[in-house]
Amino acid sequence: MSNYKKVSIAEDARTELHDRLNLTGAEISINLLPAGTSVPFVHAHKQNEEIYAIVKGEGTAVIDDERVDVKAGDWLRIAPQAKRRFFASAESAIQYICIQVRQNSLEGYTVTDAVL
C-alpha cells in the first residue's frame, strides 16, 4: 500500500476532494459558480473554520451581512460562526477552493511537525 493518493479532476460545479482522496483531517472542495449565480444557501459551522482560495474569476462573499469583493489570488479565512454565501459576478464565473478544518486544531507547523 502506498502512502499517497493522486486524482485528476474536471471543472465540475463541485468536486469533493475529501471523498476522492480519502482525507481524514480536512474537508476540501473545488467549486465553480457560473457568472450571475450563487451558492443557493447561507451557512455557518459549529466547529470548523473555512479557508477560501479564489482561483479564477471574481465575485462577492457575503459574510455576516458584509459584502466582500473577491477575485483570483484572494484568500479568506472565515470563523465557524460567521454566516456566509458566495456569488459570482454578473460578468465572470468564479472558481474557488474551500478548505474546512476544525478551529484551533493545528498542533504543529512544518518546522515543528517535520521529521528529518
| pLDDT, tens digit, 9 for 90 and up, residues 13-45 | 999 999 999 999 999 999 999 999 999 999 999
Q: What CATH architecture applies to the domain 14-103?
A: Sandwich (2.60)
Banded model confidence at residue 113, pLDDT cuts 50, 70, 90: confident
Looking at residue 40, its pLDDT comes to 94
Query: Length of the chain, please?
Result: 116
Instruction: Give residue limits of the domains in the chain.
Output: 14-103
- Residue 103, helix vs strand vs coil: coil
Q: Are the CB atoms for 26 and 99 separated by under 8 Å?
A: yes
Looking at residue 110, its pLDDT comes to 81
- Residue that the C-alpha cell 476544525 belongs to: 102
- pTM for the full model? 0.91
Looking at residue 1, its pLDDT comes to 57
